[in-house]
Amino acid sequence: MSNSSNQVTRAVRRALIMSAVAASAGAPAMAQDQAASSSPASVQEVIVTGSRIQSTNLVSISPVTTVTANDIEQTGLVRTEDILNNLPQIFAGQGSTLSNGSDGTSTVDLHDLGPQRTLVLVNGRRLGPGAFDGRNFSDINEIPAALIEKIEILTGGASATYGADAVSGVVNFIMNTHFQGVKLDVDYGMYQHHNHQDNLSALEGTYGFAPTDSSVDSGFTKQLSFIAGSNFADGAGNATMYATYNNEAAVAQRPFDYSACTLAGALVNAQTKLTCGGSSTNATGRFIGYNATGTRIINDTVDQATGQLRPFNSGTDLYNFGALNFYQRPNERWTGGAFMDYDVNSHVNVYTEFMFTRNTSTSQIAGSGDFGNPTTLNCANPPLCTSPALAGGVGNLPASAA
């Protein structure tokens, strides 16, 4: 063995000896540290870096949105459709704010695919059609907002379970069927608006509209709900009953400065300016006449002051149809019902459900017109003969009311 090899061997031995000495010298200190650590110590902070609690949206095929009773209470809303219409995935269909084309019902329409593609459940069971007119979708006026415990909204992925009725999703209203005690809620509300658009008020004045009030109070709402429930059979069963009354006044467009007239735009000096527009089918009637060659020889309306025909003015004779429409339809609704269930054993549950609704609503739109349906008038008709174009006219004049 060479001299260099002996030097390396001695260096390794010295390193091992020094390590052993250091370990034996530190052993008593380690024992003292372990003894000190066995004494109880106060916890200053706990940081949770994970959880074994499963989230529904993490394990379900499609996302589920949940609206709880606390969420509903914080909105202050008393109509079920208004609660749902705040959600982005729900298209505002039939409801209290729809006047033209309303049938008095309230519907749920997920993703604007139509209410017939959104299935409505109450406690996991289908809610029947909202009217006996052949429709297959529900009227959620039947559901009392005061008794809702939570709303689960499944968007898509449910047609395999429920069929074509659930192509766009499912809305499940879970009612508080385990209520214990008595609850009475009374709500009163209204809409208040301050008319501050002076430029619009001045514009409406040039068209002869009466000025709007400086402050508008409308849409007065009265709502009353009563809920009573009790457990029985040592908590194996529960009976809950409810009754609600809701009355909402109309909100018309006429009192508001921004909707007192039907706003339109006109090009004036290469600039678009606001005007009060409307329908050329005006309230006093518009008569457009043509001769045998198809040339228009009359475009008159009845003057409200004289009752005689005069030339139609497209600036001042347009019919202001917007002022008569509703922002909110007047509505009166009564609901009542009862839920009872009893757990016979861990496998059998007996339940009964009863729901009653009486809903009355008035829809209003502007008066309709003849809208271009052709008719034939005799030129000897006295009002027509006052027109310069037809003075002394004889025979039949083809005409159309626009």
Token pair of 317 as six digits? 């004779």
Separation between Cα atoms, residue 378 and residue 24, nearest integer Å: 128
Contact in structure between 169 and 118 (CB atoms under 8 Å): yes
Token pair of 76 as six digits? 């202050």
Q: What is the pTM of this model?
A: 0.69
Do 192 and 338 belong together in one domain?
A: yes
Do 394 and 378 belong together in one domain?
A: yes
Which of 175, 203, 229 finishes a domain?
A: 175
Q: Where are the beta strands (DSSP E) in 195-285?
A: 215-232, 237-248, 251-252, 262-268, 271-277
CATH number for the domain harbouring residue 146: 2.170.130.10
Do 84 and 198 belong together in one domain?
A: no
Contact in structure between 120 and 141 (CB atoms under 8 Å): no
Token pair of 318 as six digits? 């347009």
Q: Can you give the pLDDT of all 402 residues of the chain as single tens digits? A: 455 555 556 665 665 555 554 444 444 444 455 555 555 667 777 777 666 666 666 666 677 888 888 888 888 777 888 888 888 888 767 777 777 777 778 888 888 888 888 889 999 998 888 766 667 788 888 888 889 999 998 887 678 788 888 888 899 999 998 999 999 999 898 889 998 887 887 887 777 777 788 889 998 999 999 999 999 999 899 999 999 999 999 998 888 988 888 888 776 677 778 888 888 888 788 878 777 777 888 888 888 888 888 888 877 788 888 888 888 889 899 999 999 999 999 899 999 999 999 988 888 777 777 776 766 666 666 655 555 555 444 334 444 433
Do 186 and 74 belong together in one domain?
A: no
Contact in structure between 115 and 169 (CB atoms under 8 Å): no
Separation between Cα atoms, residue 214 and residue 194, nearest integer Å: 6
In a domain, 146, yes or no: yes
Most distant CA pair in the chain, distance: 146
Do 299 and 154 belong together in one domain?
A: no
Q: Residue written as tokens 């409810």?
A: 242
Residue 379: domain span: 284-313+370-401
Tell me how many domains the chain contains. 3
CA neighbours closer than 13 Å in the CB half-sphere of residue 78: 21
In a domain, 330, yes or no: yes
In a domain, 2, yes or no: no
